[in-house]
């Protein structure tokens, strides 16, 4: 059972906008910045969003992040087939005194 | 460009030991925290351990505390994970990652390709 809760799956059609949620608590998302990682099939994870909403260079602006209270969201607009991947949220957690990940959301592009 | 290359994975019996290495290049290794993260087959990501830039402090997840030891050699630009008392639930791909602790969000901004550790009799 992950400290951060994500839906196990999400889906959308090309061009659509999809959102993936990440629910936490006051000891993690409610207090610390959230990062998002994308893991394409058979590859290592890659940083997608950091500090709630910042994109590393090279990440398309189709990807955006936000936080509200103890929850965070990743939004992908103009969905493309190459966006099919697993997505993980992460944040520091005071209770565990370390970084924690969500369980991951498998995004399928129909 | 930043590169992280893990090595040392393999098959080991329960109770055995293994040492993972991660060779870094393309950035000032001594200026960054580094971390190990693992992923069991078909499962999600789990943070394992991190080490500060000068090795002054190390931290571990409760699941590996007392069994794993993280270390680094800034001259060789290498990160290590000494694993002992291995259990079947330690079976995973182990990733080393750069831990940009001083950037807001402290992201793991670069990852290696991973090294598979299989613990089985």
* Reported confidence tier of residue A93, pLDDT bands at 50, 70, 90: very high
Q: Considering only CB atoms, which chain A residues are within 8 Å of B45?
A: 37, 45, 88, 90, 101, 104
Note the pLDDT of residue B116. Answer: 98
Residue of B42, B97, B108 to mutate for A, most A C-beta atoms under 10 A = B108
pLDDT at A16: 97
Contacts of A88 in chain B (CB under 8 A): 44-45
Cβ of B105 and A33 within 8 Å? yes
Q: Which residue of B has its CA nearest to A98?
A: B61
Residues of chain B with Cβ-Cβ distance to A96 below 8 Å are 61-62
Q: Map tokens 């005194």 to a residue.
A: A97
Query: Smallest CA–CA separation between A98 and chain B, in Å?
Result: 7
- Give long-range contacts, CB 8 A cutoff, 24+ apart: A92-97: A92/A28, A92/A31, A92/A32, A92/B106, A93/A3, A93/A24, A93/A27, A93/A28, A93/A32, A94/A27, A94/A28, A94/A31, A95/A3, A95/A27, A95/A28, A96/A3, A96/B61, A96/B62, A97/B59
pLDDT by 10-residue block (mean), chain B, 121 residues: 97 98 98 98 97 96 97 98 98 97 92 98 96
Picking from A54, A100, A102, the nearest residue to B47 by CB comes out as A100
With an 8 Å Cβ cutoff, are B62 and A2 in contact?
no
- Inter-chain CB proximity A52 and B95 less than 8 Å: no
Q: What is the pLDDT of residue A1?
A: 76
Average pLDDT of the residues in A57-65: 97
Residue B73, phi then psi, degrees to nearest 5 = -130, 105
Q: Which residues of B touch A98 (CB under 8 A)?
A: 47, 50, 59, 61
Grade residue A106 by pLDDT with cuts at 50, 70 and 90.
very high
- Which chain A residue has its CA at the smallest distance from B60's CA? A98
Which chain B residues are within 8 Å of A46, Cβ to Cβ? 111
Shortest CA gap B85–chain A (Å): 22
């Amino acid at each position: 059972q992950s400290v951060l809760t994500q839906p196990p799956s999400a889906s959308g059609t090309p061009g659509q906008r999809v959102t993936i949620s990440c629910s936490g608590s006051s000891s993690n998302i409610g207090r610390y910045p959230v990062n998002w990682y994308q893991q394409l099939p058979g590859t290592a994870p890659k940083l997608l969003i950091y500090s709630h909403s910042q994109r590393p260079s090279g990440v398309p602006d189709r990807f955006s992040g936000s936080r509200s209270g103890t929850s965070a969201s990743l939004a992908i607009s103009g969905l493309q087939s190459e966006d099919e991947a697993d997505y993980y949220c992460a944040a520091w957690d005071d209770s565990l005194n370390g970084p924690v990940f969500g369980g991951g959301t498998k995004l399928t592009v129909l | 460009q930043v590169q992280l290359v893990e090595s040392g994975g393999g098959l080991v019996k329960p109770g055995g030991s293994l040492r993972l290495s991660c060779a870094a290049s393309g950035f000032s290794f001594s200026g960054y925290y580094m971390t190990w993260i693992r992923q069991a087959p078909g499962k999600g990501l789990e943070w394992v351990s991190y080490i500060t830039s000068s090795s002054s402090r190390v931290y571990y997840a409760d699941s590996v505390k007392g069994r794993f030891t993280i270390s680094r050699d800034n001259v060789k630009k290498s990160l290590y994970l000494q694993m002992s008392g291995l259990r079947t639930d330690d079976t995973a791909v182990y990733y080393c990652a750069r831990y940009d602790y001083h950037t807001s969000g402290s992201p793991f901004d670069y990852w290696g390709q991973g090294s598979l550790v299989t613990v089985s009799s």
